[in-house]
């Protein structure tokens, strides 16, 4: 058995982390282009640094929920036959105990030095323009993959999808590529595909099965079935 699970903002929603596409189309009151593109960062670096500083600081007040914990439990049983690919920049999968996790859109608790190209674990604000711990140049930016940038570890993800017999997406609107295309690739190579979401997504019709409901309940049920 080889399972790839793709997670999106919906898995962290019940932990109190805001999803990206609220009804008003804004992300915590901001236009996504303003805070999630290289152009937005160039136009107003302080606003963007403050935005991610707030998101990073708010991680201290959220906890993994039953869905993150169920996936960690599944990894305990399956080991490296389970890969979690997350679009989320929070650290709730790791705090739940998952180890085999790829953050394809980066992580809030990481910084990228655009002077020396190194990445570091990071918990402090960036709006103060601190020096890089490696080269001392104050050119740190959030280690987040913005629109127009290439997601991380795509070769590994593609290989895992080619090898998977089951592909499950949890709490993603499937509005953003390349993640939105993973189901088609998995399906093409014969994997069974399951979508778990509160609402239909843009890709629901492509899945073999769709289970509607909150991630905390539906992921738990699915993991229990796999472990039975």
Q: Which stretch binds ligand OAD (CB under 6 A): 16-24, 75-83, 129-137, 185-193?
A: 16-24
Nearer Cβ to ligand OAD (166/197): 197
Nearer Cβ to ligand OAD (160/176): 176
What is the number of the residue whose Cβ is closest to ligand OAD? 10
For the bound state, the minimum distance from the C-beta of residue 13 to ligand OAD, rounded and expressed in Å, comes to 4
Query: Residue 197: what are its φ and ψ, rounded to 5°?
Result: -160, 155
Q: What is the bridge-based pairing of β-strands 192-197 and 82-86?
A: unpaired
CA 19 to chain centre: 11
Among residues 68, 93, 105, 220, the one that binds ligand OAD under rule CB under 6 A: 105
User: What is the set of active-site residues?
Assistant: 105
Among residues 98, 166, 172, 193, the one that binds ligand OAD under rule CB under 6 A: 172
Neighbours of 174 (CB within 10 A): 22
For the bound state, the minimum distance from the C-beta of residue 140 to ligand OAD, rounded and expressed in Å, comes to 18
- The answer for residues whose C-beta is within 8 angstroms of residue 42's C-beta and 6 or more apart is none
Q: Helix axis angle, 66-78 relative to 215-227, nearest 10°? A: 20
User: How far is it, in rounded angstroms, from Cα 189 to Cα 149?
Assistant: 27
List residues binding ligand OAD (CB under 6 A). Answer: 8-10, 13-14, 19-21, 32, 36, 87, 105, 144-146, 171-173, 175-176, 197-199, 201, 214-215
């Amino acid at each position: 058995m080889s399972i790839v699970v793709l997670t999106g903002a919906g898995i962290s929603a019940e932990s109190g982390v805001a999803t990206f596409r609220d009804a008003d189309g804004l992300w915590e009151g901001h236009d996504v282009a303003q805070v999630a593109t290289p152009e937005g960062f160039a136009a107003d670096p302080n606003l963007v640094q403050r935005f991610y500083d707030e998101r990073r600081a708010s991680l201290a007040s959220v906890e993994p929920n039953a869905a993150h914990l169920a996936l960690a439990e599944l990894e305990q049983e399956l080991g490296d036959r389970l890969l979690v690919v997350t679009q989320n920049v929070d650290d709730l999968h790791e705090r739940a105990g998952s180890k085999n996790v790829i953050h394809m859109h980066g992580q809030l608790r990481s910084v990228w030095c655009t002077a020396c190209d190194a990445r570091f674990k990071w918990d402090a604000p960036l709006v103060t323009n601190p020096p890089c711990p490696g080269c001392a140049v104050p050119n740190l930016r959030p280690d987040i993959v913005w629109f127009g940038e290439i997601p991380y570890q795509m070769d590994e993800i593609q290989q895992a999808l080619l090898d998977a017999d089951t592909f499950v997406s949890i709490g993603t609107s499937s509005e953003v590529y390349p993640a939105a295309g993973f189901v088609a690739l998995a399906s093409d190579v014969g994997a069974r595909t399951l979508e778990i979401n509160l609402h239909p997504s843009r890709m629901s019709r492509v899945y073999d099965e769709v289970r509607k409901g909150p991630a905390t309940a539906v992921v738990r049920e699915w993991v229990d079935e796999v472990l039975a």
